[in-house]
């Protein structure tokens, strides 16, 4: 029994799916202690959009440390924070005509979601919040209340009374527009749904199975919010920072949400850092009303300021388009080659999901892929969707190699399945 099995809590998770000891990482590749290399199609669940240890950010961090730059500063002013804010304003906000105040929350995504929910309730003076089926917003108590999957929830821990769940786009099939139901529930004061302070949504439900909201549905939800004095919170934790091709995932739908939650790839180096963007009129916090010790990760600021260089040109957007196309072409081939495994594929930019016909087959493919040197995770409430989330900067050859390994894994699973069927029939 190794130290992890002996000492680390049973709650550990990814260490079980990828049971090796990782030693080094670079770009889209990880190397374990035995020297075996793995292509990373998981990218820290979206925290490594720019890959592992990107050189420019690494050098900026090394310089900062060598010069005794301030590492911890609560939320006091530092040069690192000044530079990040200036760059964020210049590179992200101004070109998009967005006027957000920036709140530095605790370092995890859930911390920022908590701040968003609390602020929305404070601003509107209402307790209810609407969230969607299959939503994932984190696992601290407030965020958990808006997370749909019962795997993470238990009536013993939290009450659900302050959150109403409504079907997400596509939940009732392609022909049913769930925004119609949402509007009715909100405008009919006999619907049983209290007027919410906010509606919180992901434009692409990543953990929920790579479910993609249409542009029109998003625009209708935004309109319902506007017409009914409800704040719109977009949780861009997993699919923000370029995953869909634009910096914010909601840009293509032309939304200007009241609150935006960013985390994961905002620091660019996988360092803990989260932000809540607040439309200026909603920034009604009293000084220090929502505070915490770790709200100024200066190393995060240093890397994040450097990461924003990617957004001064269209390079990354073009890269996402090209690699996204490569990915979808391969997935379509997989659908043709493995009709017994894959039911359908869906995605956008550099987030794609392959929905399997059976959970066991999906899990078997992920395991076999890992055995061949590919890190890939499953998602969806049944964990039957293989999720493709490589670093955005992955090169064509590495992406192709990862996809080859996956093809081999699927061939292997099909072979075993066929053998098992033959064995059962004799
Ligand atoms: N929201 C979304 C959309 C997420 O994908 C995640 C993390 N998977 C979270 C919130 C929670 O972030 P964290 O795990 O850092 O608390």
For residues 351 and 269, membership in a common domain is answered with no
- The angle formed by the CA atoms of residues 382, 384 and 387, to the nearest 5 degrees, is 120
Alpha carbons 218 and 253: distance in angstroms, whole number: 7
Q: How far is the CA of 141 from the centre of ligand 1 (A)?
A: 13
For residues 404 and 330, membership in a common domain is answered with yes
Helices (H) and strands (E) in the chain — how many of each? 13, 17
pLDDT per residue over 106-121, tens digit each? 999 999 999 999 999 9
Ligand 1 pocket test, pick from 116, 238, 260, 274 with the greatest ligand atom count within 8 Å of Cβ, gives 238
Contact between residue 232 and residue 255 where contact means Cβ atoms under 8 Å apart: yes
pLDDT averaged over every residue in the chain: 96
Give me the pLDDT at residue 103, please.
98
Beta strand pairing status for 100-104 and 259-262? unpaired
For residues 100 and 160, membership in a common domain is answered with yes
For residues 178 and 297, membership in a common domain is answered with yes
For residues 305 and 345, membership in a common domain is answered with no
What domain count does the chain have? 2
Show Cβ contacts of residue 380 under 8 Å, excluding neighbours closer than 6 positions. 134, 208, 209, 210, 353, 355
The CATH code of the domain that includes 89 is 3.40.640.10
- Ligand 1: list residues with CB < 6 Å: 45, 108-110, 113, 136-138, 202, 206-207, 235, 237-238, 263
pLDDT < 50 stretches in the chain: none
For residues 218 and 71, membership in a common domain is answered with yes
Give me the pLDDT at residue 262, please.
98
Contact between residue 239 and residue 351 where contact means Cβ atoms under 8 Å apart: yes
Query: Measuring CA to CA, which residue among 110, 111, 109, 112 is closest to residue 276?
Result: 112
For residues 44 and 86, membership in a common domain is answered with no
For residues 305 and 344, membership in a common domain is answered with no
For residues 68 and 204, membership in a common domain is answered with yes
Q: How far is the CA of 236 from the centre of ligand 1 (A)?
A: 9
Give me the pLDDT at residue 79, please.
98
For residues 99 and 79, membership in a common domain is answered with yes
Give me the pLDDT at residue 208, please.
98
User: What angle, rounded to 10 degrees, do the helices at 298-307 and 55-66 form?
Assistant: 140
Ligand 1 pocket test, pick from 237, 248, 271, 389 with the greatest ligand atom count within 8 Å of Cβ, gives 237
Q: How far is the CA of 124 from the centre of ligand 1 (A)?
A: 25
Give me the pLDDT at residue 422, please.
87
Q: Which helix (H) or strand (E) holds 302?
A: helix 298-307
Final residue belonging to a domain, choices 257, 280, 311: 311
Smallest CA separation from ligand 1 atom 7, residue: 138
Q: Please tell me the pTM assigned to this model.
A: 0.97
Q: How far is the CA of 110 from the centre of ligand 1 (A)?
A: 6
Beta-carbon count within 10 A of 426 CB: 4
For residues 245 and 325, membership in a common domain is answered with no
Q: How far is the CA of 44 from the centre of ligand 1 (A)?
A: 11
Alpha carbons 390 and 376: distance in angstroms, whole number: 9
Smallest CA separation from ligand 1 atom 13, residue: 109
Q: How far is the CA of 325 from the centre of ligand 1 (A)?
A: 26
For residues 146 and 253, membership in a common domain is answered with yes
Final residue belonging to a domain, choices 272, 296, 311: 311
Q: How far is the CA of 414 from the centre of ligand 1 (A)?
A: 33
DSSP designation for 338: -
The CATH code of the domain that includes 421 is 3.90.1150.10
Beta-carbon count within 10 A of 13 CB: 7
Q: φ, ψ for residue 126 (rounded to 5)? A: -130, 150
Final residue belonging to a domain, choices 311, 346, 372: 311
Contact between residue 196 and residue 125 where contact means Cβ atoms under 8 Å apart: no
CA within 13 Å, CB half, 306: 24
Q: Which domain range does residue 329 map to? A: 3-54+314-425
Beta-carbon count within 10 A of 317 CB: 18
């Amino acid at each position: 029994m190794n130290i992890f099995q002996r000492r680390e809590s049973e709650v550990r998770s990814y260490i079980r799916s990828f049971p090796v000891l990782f030693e080094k990482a670079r770009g889209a590749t990880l190397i374990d202690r035995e020297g075996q290399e793995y292509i990373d199609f998981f990218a820290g669940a979206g925290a490594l959009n720019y890959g592992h240890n990107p050189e420019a950010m690494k050098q900026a961090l090394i310089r900062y440390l060598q010069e005794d730059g301030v590492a911890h500063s609560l939320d006091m002013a530092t040069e690192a924070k000044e530079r990040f804010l200036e760059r964020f304003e210049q590179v992200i906000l101004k070109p998009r005509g967005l006027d957000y105040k920036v709140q530095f929350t605790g370092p995890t995504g859930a911390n920022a979601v908590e701040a968003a929910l609390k602020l929305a309730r404070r601003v509107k003076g209402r307790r209810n919040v609407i969230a969607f089926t299959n939503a994932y917003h984190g696992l601290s108590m407030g965020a958990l209340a808006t997370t749909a999957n019962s795997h993470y929830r238990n009536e013993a821990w939290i009450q659900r009374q302050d959150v109403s769940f409504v079907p997400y786009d596509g939940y009732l099939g392609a022909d049913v527009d769930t925004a119609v139901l949402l509007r009715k529930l909100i405008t009919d004061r006999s619907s049983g749904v209290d007027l919410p302070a906010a509606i919180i949504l992901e434009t692409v439900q990543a953990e929920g199975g790579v479910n993609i909201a249409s542009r029109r549905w998003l625009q209708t939800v935004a309109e319902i919010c506007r017409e009914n004095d409800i704040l719109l919170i977009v949780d861009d934790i997993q699919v923000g920072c370029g995953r869909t091709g634009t910096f914010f995932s909601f840009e293509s739908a032309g939304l200007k949400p009241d609150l935006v939650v960013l985390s994961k790839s905002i620091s660019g180096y996988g360092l803990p850092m989260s932000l809540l963007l607040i439309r200026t009129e909603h920034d009604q916090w009293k000084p220090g009303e929502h505070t915490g010790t770790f709200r100024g990760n200066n190393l995060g600021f240093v890397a994040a300021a450097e990461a924003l260089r990617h957004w001064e040109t269209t390079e990354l957007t073009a890269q996402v388009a090209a690699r996204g196309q490569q990915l979808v072409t391969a997935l379509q081939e997989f659908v043709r080659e493995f009709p017994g495994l894959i039911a359908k594929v869906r995605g956008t930019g550099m987030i794609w999901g392959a929905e399997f016909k059976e959970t066991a087959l999906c899990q078997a493919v992920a395991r076999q892929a890992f055995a061949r040197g590919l890190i890939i995770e499953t998602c969806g409430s049944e964990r039957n969707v293989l999720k493709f989330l490589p670093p955005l900067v992955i090169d064509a050859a590495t992406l192709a190699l990862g996809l080859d390994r996956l093809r081999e894994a699927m061939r292997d699973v099909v072979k075993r399945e066929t053998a098992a069927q033959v064995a059962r029939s004799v």
